[in-house]
Structure 1
Amino acid sequence: SSYGGRRTQGERDAMTVEIGYALFSAAFAAAVLFGAVVGPAYVFGLPAGVRSGLVGTGTVLAVVVFLVRVVSVLVRFGRGNQPSQPGRTRPDS
């Protein structure tokens, strides 16, 4: 594992779950942000130019939030901030 050996099945499963969590939570955050930025354009019937500007802005922000969320979750997982013993919140507790 961290010393160049092969990963155990548990470590591979944990990585798979973490990747799935990162993608799902990032997609959810991006969708919520996109809806918050673009939604008012359709609810209030704003002009087409303003609407297209908000759609563009919402798209860019959603992509940025998606990427930042995925990277932050996976980096945090890669650092191994896991408790050393089950039920413990800190390695020194």
Structure 2
Amino acid sequence: MGRRSQQDRDAITVEIGYALVSASFVAAAGFAGITAPALVLDLSDTAGRVLTAVGGTVAAFAFVARLVHVLWRFPRRPDGPPPPSQPSRTGRTSPDS
């Protein structure tokens, strides 16, 4: 793989930042959704600890899943030559018509 241009590096940096921020948001929402009953309702200490542990586990899983999902979908630069930008024959709309 050849050297990347500054534009490619900037796009990767922005994509990683977006993945981290959105994964953090999803993890926080999952944690808050699961542990909210422990804060609102009068639950025993054991139930509160269980909900907090489950919320932390779900938050960690959601963070990793969202991070992988966003970064996996990031378009990669092809190794070969770029596709032709115009049809191969004049007057045609696509090369196979």
TM-score range relative to shorter protein? 0.7 to 0.9
Q: Tell me the percent identity.
A: 47
- In structure 1, the partner of 2:24 is 27
Larger Rg: 2
Provide the aligned C-alpha RMSD in A.
1.8
* Residue 55 (structure 2) aligns with: 58
Q: Where in structure 1 are there 5+ consecutive unaligned residues?
A: 81-93
Report the secondary structure of 2:72's partner residue: helix
Q: Which residue of 1 aligns with 2:70?
A: 73
Please give the secondary structure, in 2, of the residue aligned with 1:37: helix
Give 1:45 deviation, angstroms.
1.9
Pick from 3, 13, 18 the counterpart of residue 16 of structure 1.
13
Looking at structure 1, the residues matched to 76 and 10 of structure 2 have their Cα atoms a distance apart, in angstroms, of 17
Which of 21, 44, 47 is the matching residue for 1:47?
A: 44
Q: Which runs of 5+ in 2 are unaligned?
A: 78-97
Give 1:79 shift: 4.7
Separation in 2 of the partners of 1:31 and 1:25?
10
With normalisation by structure 2, the TM-score equals 0.76
| Larger helix fraction of residues | 1
- The amino acid across from 2:55 in the alignment is G
